[in-house]
Structure 1
C-alpha cells in the first residue's frame, strides 16, 4: 500500500533519532478479539504502522486494548480505558466514537468510522473538527448502487435481492440509494426489517420464503460486529451476498466492495503519532478514505455453484481462493 505522505522525509518516521518519552494509548475495536479482516490482523497492522512512525510498544509506547462486542456498553469501555490514564484514545467504529465524544472531555480521540462524522454529530466540520476528536471516515452511501450493480454482475439471473434494515439504523441514506439503484437495475429489493440481531435467523428464513436469491448488507455498525455470522448464514442459506466492508470476503462472504479498512487503520496511526508529538485534534482536518477494494471469495462462490465473470475477477483488488 503506497502512502507516501505517511512516511515522507522530514516527518515522523522509523528513523526518529530523538528520545521519546513513554506514552500510553487506548484502542477500542468494534467486534470480538478474534475478528480478522484481511491477511494481517487489524491489531498487528495498527502496531506495525505505529512502529514505522517511531512509536514502539514496549520502548516508548504502551497500548491498552478493549473490544466492544455485541451487548458491551461502549461508554463503559471508554471509561475503563480512561481509568488507565491514557494519553490518547483510538475509537474504531462510530458507536465507540460517539461514546468517546460524550465522556472523554479534552482527551485526544482519533476515530475511524463508516459514514459521515458530521452527520453523526462527532465533529463540527471536516476541515475544522473542533473539540478533541479527529480521524478518518469512509463513505458508504455513495457506493450503495455500485455494490448492488457488482452483485448483479456476479449473479445476473437474480431479480430479487434481500436487504436487512434496522428500525433505528444509521444507514438510512445508503438504504435509499440501494433502493434507487435497484429500480435502475430492474431488480426488486426484499426488505427485511429487524428490531435487533436476535431477528437475524428468522430474517434469513424469510428471505428464502420471499424468493430472494441474493443479499446486500448495509454498512450498519451492529451488522459489522457479526460479519462472520452473516457470511456463514448467507452461505448456509445459499444466498450470494455483498457488503460494504472490504473484510467481509475474508470472513467467508461472497463478495465485498467498500473502503479499505487497512488504509483507515494506517491513517489512524499517523494521526496518533502526530498527536503524541504534540498536535491538537482540533487542528487536524478529518480525512476521507480514498482507496476502495473489490474482494471476491472464489471458495464461497464455488460452494454456492456460482462462477464469477472473468471481467469481474480481473477488476477485483483481492481474490480469495
Structure 2
C-alpha cells in the first residue's frame, strides 16, 4: 500500500537534491534581491552633526533613483568623530559590525580608517586632499582593484592656483600664511610652497587640527607680517565657514580657500568644487554599488563643478579693491 516503484523513487530523489542545491543558494540570492528599504549605508565623517546634516541631504539626492523619482528608503547610519580623528578607526569598526552594505568615508583619515576596518565592504570615498594611487587606496583610477573607489580631487596644483588668484587680487603681497590640517597629508602643502617660491612669496605655515587652532592662527597672524592667508583643503576648514569668515573680517586679512561657501559666509575669495554636489555625486556612486556594480571596477571620479566666488562686501570692509579681471572670471560676485 505504501510502496513506490524504483523509477518514482529516483525521480523524487533527484527533485530533493535539486531542492537542496537551490536552498544552498538562498542566502546569496536573498542578499542580491534585498529590498532597498533594508539596505544600510554607513557615513564615516570627522566632523560634527551640524556640518554633516546638509551633506546627508545631498547623499540622499544621489541615492534616489531618478527613474522612479522616489525616496530610496536606504538607511544611513552616521558615525561622526566630532573633530577628533583618533576616534575614526573605532567608528569604522562599529559600522562594519553593523553590517552596512557600503561605507561613505569623508576625508583622508576616514578613508584610511575604513580601509583598515574592512577589505570586503565597499568604501566610497570623498577625498580632496589625497592622491588615491600614491596612498594605496586604489590600484588605478580607471580600475580601483580593491574595495575602495569614490571622488578624489587628485590635483595638488589646484591649491597653487588658489595662491595665484590671491596674488592677482592683492598684487602687493610679499608674504602669506598657509593654514594646514596635518591630518590631510603634505601633498597640497608641498605644491603651494613650491608655487610660492616661484612667485617670490614668503610662506609661513600654521597648523590647525581643531576649530580652536583656526582662531589661534589668526591671532598669531597679527604678530607677523603676513599679508594674506590661503586655507588649504580640509574637512575642518570646510566645516567652519562662518568662523573663518568672521576672523577674516575681524583681522582685515585677505583670504582664499578651496571652499566657495567660506566666501559666501564673508571670506574674500573661494575657488573650488561645489561640496554639496560632491556628496550628491558620492550618493550616485553608492547607488550603483547597491544596484550591483563591482566596486573593484567602478572608476574613481573627480569633481565636475568648480566655482570662483568673490565677496565685494568683504573686499570693501578690509580695504581691498578686487581687479576687474577677477570679477569677470567669478561665477558669483557678492555685492
TM-score by length of 1: 0.81
Unaligned runs of 5+ in 1: 1-17
1:159-174 → structure 2 map (5 Å cutoff): 159-165=174-180, 168=182, 170-174=184-188
Once residues 234 and 185 of structure 2 are traced to their aligned partners in structure 1, the CA distance between those partners, rounded to angstroms, is 6
1:132 aligns with 2:112: no
* Structure 2 equivalent of residue 47 of structure 1: 60
* Structure 1 equivalent of residue 273 of structure 2: 259
User: Relative to 1, partners in 2 of residues 1:54 and 1:272: Cα closer, same or farther, differing over 3 Å?
Assistant: farther
* Structure 2 equivalent of residue 33 of structure 1: 49
1:178 aligns with 2:162: no
1:243 aligns with 2:284: no
CA-to-aligned-CA distance 1:117-168 (integer Å, 9 cap, x gap): 12223222212212211111013411222111111222223222111346x5
> Do 1:55 and 1:273's aligned partners in 2 also have CA atoms closer than 8 Å?
no
Q: Any idea what SS the aligned residue of 2:133 has?
A: helix
Structure number having the greater strand percentage? 1
For these two proteins, the number of residue pairs brought into alignment is: 300
Once residues 34 and 99 of structure 2 are traced to their aligned partners in structure 1, the CA distance between those partners, rounded to angstroms, is 22
* Structure 2 equivalent of residue 285 of structure 1: 299
* Structure 2 equivalent of residue 67 of structure 1: 80
User: Relative to 1, partners in 2 of residues 1:56 and 1:71: Cα closer, same or farther, differing over 3 Å?
Assistant: farther
Once residues 219 and 21 of structure 1 are traced to their aligned partners in structure 2, the CA distance between those partners, rounded to angstroms, is 35
Report which stretch shifted further, 190-199 or 294-303.
190-199
User: Relative to 1, partners in 2 of residues 1:219 and 1:19: Cα closer, same or farther, differing over 3 Å?
Assistant: closer
- Could you tell me how far 1:192 is from its partner in structure 2? 3.4
CA-to-aligned-CA distance 1:161-213 (integer Å, 9 cap, x gap): 111346x5544232232223223333322333568765444432332222112
* Structure 2 equivalent of residue 146 of structure 1: 161
Q: Any idea what SS the aligned residue of 1:117 has?
A: coil
User: Relative to 1, partners in 2 of residues 1:25 and 1:188: Cα closer, same or farther, differing over 3 Å?
Assistant: same
User: Relative to 1, partners in 2 of residues 1:170 and 1:184: Cα closer, same or farther, differing over 3 Å?
Assistant: same
> Do 1:190 and 1:207's aligned partners in 2 also have CA atoms closer than 8 Å?
no
User: Relative to 1, partners in 2 of residues 1:262 and 1:194: Cα closer, same or farther, differing over 3 Å?
Assistant: closer
1:312 aligns with 2:321: no
User: Relative to 1, partners in 2 of residues 1:53 and 1:107: Cα closer, same or farther, differing over 3 Å?
Assistant: farther
Q: Any idea what SS the aligned residue of 1:41 has?
A: helix
User: Relative to 1, partners in 2 of residues 1:19 and 1:85: Cα closer, same or farther, differing over 3 Å?
Assistant: closer
1:155 aligns with 2:170: yes
Structure number having the greater helix percentage? 2
